[in-house]
Structure 1
């Protein structure tokens, strides 16, 4: 085992994992890359680690539920006669949206009881069953403090209702300081959450740089960069290479003593 020695000749052990996680900067930068399952498994190894993971806000700022089995609905679509739907419902008073939102509502309820839901600022629900009513709760409910929400390829999401919810959230008569949501990812296919992690860190660490430091400007700059990259990739295609200039125009030499042209 490697040891360190101070000036008095006393040997000290190197920092442990617990020492590193007590550092809020390291914890904030590391937690988004660790799955929820791994975090819970780590919290079961010791009481000290459990206390850090279950009480530190930095651990839960970034919550990715896309790979959580409990967040998925393993059922086929509603059949024409409604037989399958009625057979799988435990309560006939439930609406269709209530049924499809059940898994995520259960997870959010457990996090709220543990006083962890309020710390979530980036929420990734790509590919999961997210009805519009659940989106309304995330955007408007005081239990949530979500600033970045990803719904790419979300299932059972009524786009018309989603538009109505967003229009109502940004109405001129809304309460001051609302909505808390600053970015919504909806279009495109679900991909790595790396982009959202970078977006969260940029929103948290941006300094006062005038209007360009605002969250909206940073989000717009991110999408402009991605659009520019996609455009460059398209223009580099073999079919479009003929549209680029293939030569270099030479300017007429100046100051070589030639007499000016006369009509």
Structure 2
């Protein structure tokens, strides 16, 4: 029984290392193949629209109400000390450093990451990727490289928009629901929040975008077993990407705190 347990654990460790080894290799190829001809700029524009622009409505709605919820929750505590005017700073810092990049990344994972895995997985099981190779087209450069670069850009820009919309949500709740003084609200936002908070979140967003694209594309590219395999790859891509986002969120925050960034 103990031997079987060690075998199961060893198998999982090997699978874990094998996955991240494949991820590292395909990520490097996707990054460097972007600088080889042909460049196919139209594909970059297409994916930027489908990944970024199409995700904007859901991220804007989510961010608006997230900012509103932060204002609602912090008002209860700050009202006890007559410090309601500090809500703006709390909303701005919370959205910029943590909530905007994480929420944007998770929503893009659910919406675009799953689509990447499903589309590439379908092409894999229907042998369309083999057909690309027969035509001397590098499938990683053609299918994965544009998605990686555009996802990084899209998640970064969406995070910046999420910061703004979330702050507006907090502003509306604070000013028009709780009648907080506008001047003090804005002034203490300027005092408490800094541009470093925004940069912190944007760095996270870029890394999250890279993780989403590479993990989702890897699962799609490794699909086996027909339609069932496509479904399994899509599910694993979303779950793995979401877990990676949360783990790297902690690691990035820890490193930045360690170096006082």
TM-score by length of 1: 0.27
More strand by share: 1
Greater C-alpha radius of gyration: 1
Higher relative CO (Cα under 8 Å, sequence separation at least 6) belongs to 2
More helix by share: 2
